[in-house]
Amino acid sequence: MNDSVQEQARAGEQPYVPEQLSLGGFFGSVLYGIGVTLGLALLWIMEIFRNLFFHALDRLNVKPRRRRASAFPPGEPRKRPQPPPGS
């Protein structure tokens, strides 16, 4: 256990030397960064259009469409006959 502590102390004394990227690795990293940036920009633009659309609906006072069929229609629930006890 004592050896691992000394090993870590020696490793901390050496200066960090970053690994040099090849030309292909450099361009791959740049293209990856551009792709991430374009993806985030696309999401941001879609959010802007969504906000504009819903603000326009609010200004026009457009109510949401009501669906005719519902699993729980309004009003009193139907009375169902109860089975006789003991069956």
Supply the DSSP string of 30-62, one letter for each residue: HHHHHHHHHHHHHHHHHHHHHHHHHHHHHHHTP
CA neighbours closer than 13 Å in the CB half-sphere of residue 54: 6
pTM reported for the whole predicted model: 0.47
Encoded amino acid at 56, one letter: A
DSSP state of 44: H
Tens-place pLDDT, residues 7-46 = 666 666 788 888 888 999 999 999 999 999 999 999 999 9
Could you state, in order of their start, the residue ranges of all structural domains in the chain?
24-61
- pLDDT per residue over 36-83, tens digit each? 999 999 999 999 999 999 899 888 886 766 666 667 767 777 777 888
